[in-house]
Amino acid sequence: MSSSVAGPDCCGGFGNVDFRQADLCVMTRLLGYVDPSDPCFVAAILTITFNPLFWNVVARWEQRTRKLSKVFRSPYLACYSLGAAILLLNVLRSHCFTQAMLSQPKMESLDNPTAYRVGLALLGIGSTFVLSSFFALGFTGTFLGDYFGILMEARVTTFPFNILDNPMYWGSTANYLGWAIMHASPTGLLLTVVVALIYMVAIQYEEPFTAQIYQQKASSSRKRS
């Protein structure tokens, strides 16, 4: 496959770009490198999809029933246990992501030092967002403590939450994007798109539910006062 960059006429010229067609061109080119039947690719898709589904289902079940808190006899121990499970699942997801990249071809146009440095920079930015989010929220704030009744006193507005919403999710996405570029992997790029889409769906479910929990807290506080 050629590593040359196509000219502006390939999608109709820069003066009259159909961005939907341009996106289709990019996705078609990526899919040309990917074997979706490869077991490593399938495993990566499954872990990317399963992880947010798992923690949302378990957290909502806990918020309704308090079953985990009863089993562990403490909401904190229950939250720590769920957090540990999420961390292990994320390690598995990253392993499957990497194996999927290594099992499929590289893209020649990304296999160069400049692209590698771009990927490394994205990995650094993503890690900064993830780690700073963790330090700002703490363990229970990061790992769904509000579903266990462990509520923060106020909304966190320090860095990186003063830069963008959901910085841990977007930092994680940047990590995967950087990792894919460093490996010159079209499979990694495609899987990063899946990661971003799954996070976008998760946000649509999580944010209203979390807002409801804190509204209930505020309402209870007003009644007590």
Binding-site residue numbers for S-adenosyl-L-methionine are 124-126, 206-207
Q: Which residues are annotated as a binding site?
A: 124-126, 206-207
Phi, psi torsion values for 164, nearest 5 degrees? -160, 160
Three-class DSSP labels, 100-117: HHHCCCCCHHHCCHHHHH
Identify the H or E element spanning 85. Answer: helix 75-102
- Look up residue 14 and give its two tokens: 């820069």
CA distance 131 to 101: 25
Contact between 25 and 10 (Cβ < 8 Å): yes
CA distance 105 to 101: 8
CA distance 128 to 133: 8
Buried residues in 157-187 as b, exposed as e (16+ CB within 10 A)? eeebbeeeebbbbbbbbbbbbbbbbbbbbbb
Cβ–Cβ contacts within 10 Å for residue 207, how many?
12
Cβ–Cβ contacts within 10 Å for residue 44, how many?
27
Half-sphere exposure of 187 (CA within 13 A, CB side): 25
